[in-house]
Amino acid sequence: MITPPVLHYNSFTLAMHDGTLVRFVPMSPAYAVHIKEGFQRLSPESRYMRFGHPVNELTEKELKYLTHVDQQYHVAWGAMVMEENVEHGIGVGRYIHIGGNLGKAEFALTIIDNYQNKGIGRYLLALLYVLALRQGIHTLSGSILPSNGHAAEIMTAIGARTALENGLYYTNLPVLTDWGKLTTPYGQRFTETLHNISTHLQPVSGSNIH
């Protein structure tokens, strides 16, 4: 059985299109307080879109699951911003390998409401895409609630196969080695983001990844 590499990468900072500086960090238990705070800043609608049912508070078990990740079979990164000289968590992207199928993983993205529509979700998705490619994953799959049809449209615009089944949008995004094949207008924009992420995503000194 092929074992995927552990993804030891440094955090990095990028400017969004409106000038917002976002620091992207590999998730760890050190960010549990940021996850908990960020969850409280999500609207009930955003919580429902992420979890598929009403959730008022994260349990300690859920918080541990979301932050104690191995960056191998469960890969997760957070998006952080400075507000009045204090760093806050405003988004998370993650994927989890599906069973013994090392070529496919299930992904999820969450951005708090007042930081949506700034391109942060696109950057988190691109980050997951690049990491998945470096692990040999060929498909990122996910499910989207019908009320979040805009997200389904974006996934389709990138090149995902998206279909509405049993009350959910199911999406499968091919992880391409040749980004030149992302030829749609949004796909080309996504390609630019992929190159930007790839340039800034540097291995931790001494790690065995490339």
Exposed e or buried b per residue across 151-187, where buried means at least 16 C-beta atoms within 10 angstroms of its C-beta: bbebbbbbbbebeeeeeebbbebebbeebeebeeebb
pLDDT tens for each residue of 115-133 = 988 999 999 999 999 999 9
Range of 90-104, 120-134, 138-152, 194-208 with top mean pLDDT: 120-134
Residue 210 reports pLDDT greater than 80: no
- Element holding 92 (H helix, E strand): strand 86-98
Mean pLDDT of the chain: 90
Would you list the domain boundaries of the chain? 12-200
Please give the share of the chain, as a percent, with pLDDT higher than 90.
70
Q: What's the pTM?
A: 0.92
Residue among 5, 13, 10, 68 at smallest CA distance from 35: 68
pLDDT band at 1 (very low <50, low <70, confident <90, very high): low
pLDDT tens for each residue of 16-69 = 999 999 999 999 999 999 999 988 888 777 776 666 666 778 889 999 999 999
- Fold for 12-200, please state it: Aminopeptidase (3.40.630)
Higher pLDDT, 185 or 150: 185
Rounded CA separation 101/137 (Å)? 9
Strand 101-111, strand 74-83: pairing:
unpaired
User: CA-CA distances (angstroms) from residue 62 to 31, 58, 98?
Assistant: 14, 6, 19
